[in-house]
Structure 1
């Protein structure tokens, strides 16, 4: 209005021409020019009569209608996991919904995206929870119900429990003294990759594609112990820690095996004994196959040859060659080098030892007897009066 009056007074343009000139400068048309003339005449007649700016006061979101919001929620849930903002646009783009909401046309995609945020949807990666594979296997359920949970229940009276103020709420026992706490340390292994990156984000339309590395890249495994009482397992001054950084791969540090688990556990126990001697400690590990290992010379009939090896040959249990650093040794082909060790002796039912290799003084001294010799003639010789020690035959262990 001020510009309109200034234009009218300072130029030779007429009333209508001045209003059209100001409307054109505001990138508007004849409608605004007409409104300017109406508003200005009203102001000239009454200086208290000014148009009231309604900007931002009339726009009440349709989503504030709880019934409509609930209908949209139900519609999105019926679509399934992969919903999108355009589903709301299509939902409102029906004659029935437009008539009910008094809409001439459906909402825009931008509005639908705002509604998705209001309804607590986020454009992000699909959330992933705990792996469920194998959790209901019969042996897993049996161990959990009959071993782990009873063990945990027995520990609970001596474990710390916490109030809302993060204070130890465990009752004091004895004459003013608390019994030693049981601290549970959970073993955790996480693997990080060189090419880890965010995969979903808001991208500006002006951005161009940028080349990136193919695959996950080199990995770094971090193995550590953590507890609710002390956090990560380390000495109070931080000079010693149980954390292990491991570069997995046959061309790098090999693979995290039972030997690495034992070494890390030994280091953890040394730290606990030195710095936390007043507590009792329990180390919990995942029941992963890489955490388990049979003794190198453990009894097993699974790979025993049936017959005595030919002259010049022998049979033994293959085991990894361990280097001075305590790690398996790899050959030029990238495979772990192996050596053979004798299987340990078994035991007869009467407690006498049972060896699977020909004894000292025998023509084949130290050579594996073979399953046929070990199992075949034992019962017959026993009937003939030979002792178990003399026969040294029948197997009494499980494969």
Structure 2
């Protein structure tokens, strides 16, 4: 049977019957068996044979057209490449006189062919660069030139928020507003109606999105409030210097302390003491406050059941305690221990101050420590708290000074704060001598017998 896809036109008609058995390579046995079979002619057989013939002819024509088109395109590309050869003669090296734009312009001309694209781009893209090559080739054929490179030549838009004066005004205003009242809408209104008119004389038109983007660049973030460690001044030079000296001092104290090891810290190693040295026992102090309504925030309830919780924290009890590593809470009896409960409140025991802590230290912690650790020295550690700071009763503090000269002796819980202050001093600028200076011009009869 002739090959219909070979492109050679057949010299026979399908409508005519084929009687040449030798050409069909049929045996006598096959012919005899076939002649005995009943032959049926289908009505659509004729159209099917003709349809297949037409499809085969169309495929042949398309194949010939594609081959011809490919040859024509190859010739056109070769012609364009020869035309461009005169424009791309200069070599692209470091000593070339062409700048970056000229180099990119030459690269675009070289990319008019597939081979040049492979030479320029080691890994060419599938879509964009192929389209760009066709566009540049068509532009050169139609116009005779290729457009200059326009990357980076668009108009630059500068926002008002990039101005340093406006930026500092925004940050200054934002820092003066309380944290819980800082909103982007209020800041935007203040920016457009106050800050920008004061600086450039017109009402601002800054959008909400632009201000939000710049606030992120300036370091402001929008997040949910959560409990965090308060850090203030930990990296100041004086704080760092004190922390280093304190650490060295503590390492010296550690040589005179017991050390604990093991999975449960059950192994105790006593220190190696020199003659005349005492063992040092570190005692730490801390405070914690518990509220009446400090219950669980998540509970398991039935369907339709509602649990109403009080909005206020309720009454509180503050626990102040001294502990050592060897005994934990130091105690001599169930009633006498280094733990104190304090009921804070205006109608209860007022407020916890340094005087309460000092009383607990003197009356409970030190006596119990001496009973539990005879011939040992205590090292008390307190955290940094405003309640733990105290001034002397006669300290020169402006907060407690009065305009009149009446005083009633040292200030304590039994006497008023109008106590007598200690004498001050100043340095004579000529002699450098320290000269004592009294805080009072005259002394009135004191109503408190010292």
Larger Rg: 2
Of structures 1 and 2, the one scoring higher in RCO (CA 8 A, sep 6+) is 1
Q: Which bracket does the TM-score occupy, shorter chain normalised? A: 0.3 to 0.5
TM-score by length of 2: 0.41
Quick check: which one's helix share is greater? 2
